[in-house]
């Protein structure tokens, strides 16, 4: 049979260890909704925030954009790439 004391000690240790991780989570907010702005392909410095070092577009779960503005950011990044404001990739 299991010793109740040892199993409860292990659980308490795990709960204490995980408690710090749950406290730090904070919901991300869409910068465009907060500032009442729209993404623009003519502002490559503003769009660089939404691409990786390799030139890939970051997903909304990373950037915190809402679905509407994530679609707009994607389209504006693609426009900026075609007009050579942003690179397609960085090798």
How does pLDDT run across 4-46, given as a tens digit for each residue? 555 555 566 566 656 555 566 778 899 999 999 999 999 999 9
Q: What is the DSSP letter of 41?
A: T
Query: Which CATH topology does 28-86 take?
Result: 30s Ribosomal Protein S18 (4.10.640)
Q: Under 8 Å CB-to-CB from 46, ≥6 apart: which residues?
A: 39, 40
**How far is it, in rounded angstroms, from Cα 70 to Cα 57?**
10
Lowest mean pLDDT of 1-5, 24-28, 75-79, name the range.
Answer: 1-5
Average pLDDT over residues 44-64: 94
* Residue with more model confidence, 5 or 47: 47
* pLDDT attached to residue 89: 83
Q: Are 74 and 81 in contact (CB under 8 A)?
A: no
Q: Are 39 and 76 in contact (CB under 8 A)?
A: yes
């Amino acid at each position: 049979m299991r010793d109740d004391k040892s199993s409860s000690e292990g659980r308490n240790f795990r709960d204490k260890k995980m408690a710090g991780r749950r406290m730090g989570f904070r919901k991300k907010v869409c910068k465009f909704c907060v500032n009442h702005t729209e993404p623009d392909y003519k502002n490559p410095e503003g769009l660089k925030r939404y691409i990786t070092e390799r030139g890939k577009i970051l997903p909304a779960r990373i950037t915190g954009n809402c679905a509407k503005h994530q679609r707009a950011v994607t389209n504006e990044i693609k426009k900026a790439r075609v007009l050579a404001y942003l690179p397609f990739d960085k090798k």
